[in-house]
Structure 1
Amino acid sequence: MDPIGILLLNLGGPWTLADVGPFLRSLFDDREIIPFPGGPRLQTTWSRFLSAVRTPAVRKRYAAIGGGSPLLYWSRVQALGLAKRLNAGDSSSLTDAETAALRAATASEAGLPAGLGEGRYVPAIAMRYSEPSAGAAIAHLAGRGCRRAIALPLYPQECAATTGSSLADLRRAMARAPRPIELDVVRSYHDHPLYLRAMAEKVREGLAAFPPEMRREIEVLFSAHGVPIRIAESGDPYVRQVGETVEGLLRELAGEIGPHRLAWQSRVGPIRWTEPGTEEVLARLGKEGARGVLVVPLSFVSDHIETLHEVDIEFREVAEEAGIERFGRSPALNENPVFLEALRDIVLAAAGRGSEPASGARSARERA
């Protein structure tokens, strides 16, 4: 049977502290996220200026979480776990040898290390603003003989700023490929039953860290990545899908959690963003006398700067200053087996379905 490529799309992050500046410049260069005044010609000027201004502070944040982003490592863990399930029906945890091989891989390697996850389904990682690039991922699949690929964004909720930008970058890379590749695009899986089950497991893990007598009064604060208001008001599905994810989690956790709210994090720059901000809600909860808060990050499927620094360090400080006694975060999905089963289900549905929608996933077929 012909090999099928699996393109795992993600935002990316600096591999080392030296990569922080180039990463920020690549991010600010993207007019699909932040269209600076003056049009495309001034976008580069703005991106150079802002990346130079912000690099020292952002570098300190990455230094505080180990000297670089773990996003590529966790994306590789998820790629290998998915490949093992697809190619060998193997749902076991990664071995020490497999983990060591993933950690030893360089930043530019789009595919898995040789000998790992071999079979009909060939995974490759394409980061939007760092290595490995979409071009490297396409080249890897071409080298493995793939004429068909499934784009699997590691963004559960579809948004122009994430899914849309990654897909546009992928299409540009595919247009430069020596031969056409038939592409099935998974656009979202924000309400896939297994994704919701995996997220619910993580909420329970987070609550278990609080004293039993406090758990029913813990404020559960769902925190999604914010988006500019201009995107939210353009008909983009992201804000709606975040709300549907929360609704699905509340059904999964019926009777297990007490008060809950939704807020938005990672809002930067002098533009209007979705509201309220997570830090603003934490300050409000402190004034209202909340004793404990569990932050549940949404729209993230693995640990990176937004969970390890923004939530664990910055939001914890905000909570402490607000007088909140106990603060916690639900663990990231990372290598959660139920989440990996969700990805397997989505990929198999896309591989066998063509352009028909899979249960709990939105997708389409195109040729690029």
Structure 2
Amino acid sequence: MQAKRPAPKDNDHPTLPAQRVGILLANLGTPDNYDYWSMRRYLSEFLSDQRVIDYSPWLWQPLLQAIILTKRPFTSGAAYKSIWNHAEGESPLMTITKAQTAKIQTAMKARYGDDVMVDFCMRYGNPSTKSKVAAMTAAGCTKILFFPLYPQYAGATSATACDAFFAALSREKWQPIARVVEPYFERPDYIEALAASIEMAYSKIETRPDILICSYHGLPVRYLMEGDPYHCQCQKTTRLLKERLGWKDTEIMTTFQSKFGPEEWLQPYTVEEVARQAEAGNKNIAICAPAFSADCIETLEEINEEIKESFEEAGGEQFTYVPCLNDDDLHIKALTATIEENLKGWCD
């Protein structure tokens, strides 16, 4: 149980809420809408992050603001429009993150009662990390567990989420004590949830796919050579998944998607590999995206439309996309167990 702040004795002190522990889930982000200006604001914030694009701002910003952001909001907006949750007026990533948060809130309420507060933020766009940290502090959270929802660590995802979190903490008069959840790519319960989703998808396919492609978001090779562990953690995720499924090496492989810019990125590139598979005679493939905790533009549009099209144009016949874990019960169970382990000493 959390200790409670004593009630102030004098009128010259503010009224303080009871102490609580905050659990702040974090994901990449989403534009507020798919119109030009919403997309431009979102892309400008995202592509201006030097964790994502680490070129000199003196060179990069003129190119970004004067050239890239005059055209890219139109193409990206069209992509978002094709997957948009029009009923709720939001992106699928927002819808899914809300569902994940609601289920985790229910689990935490059952375990800890009112001593914990669960919410989510986005690194880019809304709700911002800054706004959610401020809200948690105002609600009495003197301790915050920050949980970047990226199974594998990358400087362009996990690290920049933490940058925003600690920057938000720096603005608080009474700064909460903080913990950050480490990457969970090798947790047995996460691998179990991933494997179960593959087995469920395969049980619904009449003819077993020739190969499962595990497609991870890519990074420049240079980042790997500079010490980013992402590539190795992705490879280990695939290996652990293969071992849990009991498959042969020829039944599963790792690829990387979403290449951006002129540099060499981690390979093989998913969009090229699916075409090679089709040309080599593997006309029936399945693809999953273990680096994403929730379906988003990179899975629903890039994989399910662009990458699928590359496969079919090369002669592929059966393309099965296995959805991200989203708010699946096994996924929520794994996330909840991770949270509970990280709360030890705070709530137990």
Which among 98, 101, 107 is matched to residue 76 of structure 1?
98
Question: 2:114 is paired with a residue of what secondary structure?
Answer: coil
Q: Please tell me the residue identity of whatever aligns with 1:275.
A: Q
Q: 1:339 aligns with which of 331, 341, 345?
A: 331
Change in CA separation of 1:59 and 1:337 when aligned onto 2, cut-off 3 Å? same
Structure-to-structure mapping, 1:207-222, within 5 angstroms: 207-211=202-206, 214-215=207-208, 217-222=209-214
Aligned mates of 1:228, 1:175 — CA distance in 2:
31
Aligned to 1:272: 264
Contact kept in structure 1, 2:238 and 2:253, CA below 8 Å: no
Using the TM superposition, name which of 196-205 and 247-256 deviates more.
247-256
1:52 to 23, 46, 70: 70
Q: Is the 8 A contact 1:205 1:330 kept in 2?
A: no
Query: Which deviations, in whole Å up to 9, do the C-alpha atoms of 1:280-327 show, x marking residues without a partner?
Result: 111110110112000011210111101110111111111111111100
In structure 1, distance between residues paired with 2:161 and 2:92: 19
Match of 2:13 in 1: none
- Count of aligned pairs between the two proteins: 322
Note if contact 2:210-2:283 (Cα within 8 Å) is conserved in structure 1: yes
| 2: CA distance, partners of 1:137 / 1:247 | 36
TM-score, normalised via structure 1 length: 0.83
The answer to whether residue 83 in structure 2 is matched with residue 61 in structure 1 is no
1:112-191 alignment, distance < 5 Å: 119-191=114-186
Aligned to 2:11: none
Match for 1:279: what amino acid? V
1:331 aligned counterpart, secondary structure: coil
CA drift of 1:219 comes to: 1.0
Amino acid at match of 1:140: A
C-alpha contact 1:28 1:51 (8 A) present in aligned 2: no
Say if 2:269 is the partner of 1:250. no
The CA deviation at 1:218 is 2.1
Identity across the alignment (%): 28
> 2:24 matched to which residue of 1?
7
Question: Would the aligned equivalents of 1:13 and 1:130 in 2 still touch at CA under 8 Å?
Answer: yes
Contact 1:225-1:298 at 8 Å conserved across structures: no
* Structure 1 segment 218-233 matched on structure 2, within 5 A: 218-233=210-225
Q: CA deviation at 1:45?
A: 2.5
Equivalent runs, 1:194-343 vs 2, <5 Å: 194-211=189-206, 214-215=207-208, 217-255=209-247, 259-343=251-335
Q: CA deviation at 1:69?
A: 2.2
Matches for 1:1-40 after TM superposition, within 5 Å: 1=2, 2-18=19-35, 19-36=38-55, 39-40=56-57
Displacement of 1:52 in angstroms is 2.0
Aligned AA (2:284) = G
Q: What is the alpha-carbon distance in structure 2 between the residues aligned to residue 279 and residue 243 of structure 1? A: 18
Q: CA shift at 1:53, angstroms?
A: 2.2
- For residue 268 of structure 1, give the secondary structure of its aligned residue in structure 2: coil
